[in-house]
Amino acid sequence: MKEISTKEVQQALEQGQAIKLIDVREVDEVESGHIPGIIHIPLGLLEFRMHELNKNDSYVIVCRSGGRSGRATQFLESQGFDVSNMVGGMLAWDGEVQ
Q: What confidence tens digit (pLDDT) does each residue in 80-93 have? A: 999 999 999 999 99
3-state helix, strand, coil in the chain (%, to 5): 40, 20, 40
What is the CB neighbour count within 10 angstroms for residue 25? 22
User: What pLDDT is attached to residue 86?
Assistant: 98
User: What pLDDT is attached to residue 3?
Assistant: 98
User: What pLDDT is attached to residue 25?
Assistant: 98
Whether domain 2-92 has CATH 3.40.640.10: the reply is: no
Residue positions annotated with a catalytic role? 63
pLDDT tens, 26-79? Answer: 999 999 999 999 999 999 999 999 999 999 999 999 999 999 999 999 999 999
User: What pLDDT is attached to residue 10?
Assistant: 95
Nearest-angstrom CA–CA distance, 60 and 30: 16
List, in sequence order, every beta strand (DSSP E) within 1-98.
2-5, 20-23, 39-40, 58-62, 82-87
Please state the domain extents for the chain.
2-92
